[in-house]
Amino acid sequence: MTTTVLITGANKGIGFQTARLLGARGMTVLLGARDEQRGRQAEHRLREGGADARFVQLDVTDPGSIAAAAGWVKAEYGRLDVLVNNAGIVRADGGGLPSQTTLATIREVYDTNVFGVVAVTSALLPLLRAAPAARIVNVSSEVGSIASMTDPDSPLWPIASVPYPSSKAALNMVTAMYAKELRDTPIKVNAANPGYCATDFNANSGFRTAEQGAEVCVHLATLPADGPSGLLWGHLWRSDDTESYGVLPW
């Protein structure tokens, strides 16, 4: 039976590269994208590369879109082996300082980065439970690590922004709580830190590639039965610029 993976926000960036890498491993890739044209273009690119890729319309802030996507996956496949909650946005008023931040901006970011993940995960959980050993990967960030952001010796110390970092901190807790609820099942739930990757997200200023970020997601999407659950895992920012991966502090 085919192994299916659904990736949200898969039309570009880290989500697209995750889809490409998992497609190359023989998985059936369901490309979630909120915009049909962008989603179909990504589907076309992956199919040209030989992947079994299918676009599915999915806006993670739209309950109707989520329900329709879940219904389609159920009708087509009857189960889901891997869910990668990748769709995310960054917004800030001014520099994002707490004193400059509006609730409207925080709500907008949380709608996608936090509430969207909960809504999509819960809608797909019956299909993930129907798979033999499902994996859930929530694409988070090192700026969601309270320990790292409050460490004066961390390269993240100069950042003092509320909307995006606090949304990823909330996502980390969401990850830990789903992992706890599902601890007696074969399902593993982890948060991924792709590292600072050059994508549209940051006007391509990242020092890692989207593919390198995707490799972190692939690792967590393909964990073996004795792999961990309930961790923030991924790229570790080292002052000597060497590549390193491991568990990040919450």
**Interacting residues with ligand NAP (CB under 6 A):** 8-9, 11-15, 34-35, 38, 58-61, 86-89, 112, 116, 139, 141, 194, 196-197, 199-202, 206, 210
Q: Please, which residues have CB within 8 angstroms of residue 86's CB and are 6 or more apart in sequence?
A: 7, 8, 9, 10, 14, 15, 18, 137, 139, 217
- Whichever of 31 and 131 has its CB closer to ligand NAP, that residue is 31
Q: φ, ψ for residue 29 (rounded to 5)?
A: -105, 120
Q: Measure the CA–CA gap between 140 and 194, rounded to whole angstroms.
A: 8
Residue 72: is it exposed, middle or buried by C-beta count within 10 angstroms (0-12/13-18/19+)? Answer: middle
| 168 a catalytic residue | yes
Asked if 245 and 236 touch (Cβ cutoff 8 Å), the reply is: yes
Q: How far is the CB of 165 from ligand NAP (least distance, A)?
A: 10
Q: How far is the CB of 235 from ligand NAP (least distance, A)?
A: 9
- Whichever of 199 and 229 has its CB closer to ligand NAP, that residue is 199
Neighbours of 25 (CB within 10 A): 13
Neighbours of 120 (CB within 10 A): 23
Asked if 82 and 139 touch (Cβ cutoff 8 Å), the reply is: no
Q: How far is the CB of 85 from ligand NAP (least distance, A)?
A: 8
Q: Measure the CA–CA gap between 214 and 236, rounded to whole angstroms.
A: 15
Q: How far is the CB of 184 from ligand NAP (least distance, A)?
A: 28
- Whichever of 130 and 236 has its CB closer to ligand NAP, that residue is 236
- Whichever of 85 and 101 has its CB closer to ligand NAP, that residue is 85
Neighbours of 97 (CB within 10 A): 12
- Whichever of 93 and 129 has its CB closer to ligand NAP, that residue is 93
**Given the residues 77, 110, 164, 188, the one annotated as active site:** 164
Q: How far is the CB of 222 from ligand NAP (least distance, A)?
A: 18
Q: Which residues form the catalytic set?
A: 164, 168
